[in-house]
Amino acid sequence: MNKIIPSLNERFKSFGVKNIDSKNRMNLGDKIINLVTKLTTNVDAFEVFVGAKGDVLLRPVVNIPSGEAWIYKNPKVLKQIRKGLEEAGSGKVEKVDNLDDFFESL
């Protein structure tokens, strides 16, 4: 898997110092997690980058179920799904009376 090197041309804001406990853990706290979830949705993990001088960058990550990963590996399918979601969001939908017949026609 190719790793994307983060661009550090962003502005960072200090949120204080977080201590490491006896088990080498650090709690980011509600304030930081709430801010991250306002900027990005469904964050459930962080990718960790360590710089040459020991700086640590946490990039928010959204994990997807392995059964759905194939969608993101197939650009054609992903494009079709995004188009369908966009159409549904704009009200472009079709009522189907009989689902079995509809699926047969696909």
Residue-wise pLDDT tens digits, 29-66: 998 988 888 888 888 899 998 888 888 889 899 888 99
- Closest C-alpha to 71, from 63, 61, 80, 62: 80
- For residue 24, pLDDT over 80 is answered with yes
Residues 6+ apart with CB under 8 A from 4: none
Domains and CATH numbers, the chain: 12-63 (2.10.260.10), 66-105 (no CATH)
For the segment 76-90, the average pLDDT, to the nearest whole number, is: 93
Measured between alpha carbons, how far is 12 from 62 in angstroms, rounded to an integer? 21
Output the average pLDDT for the chain: 87
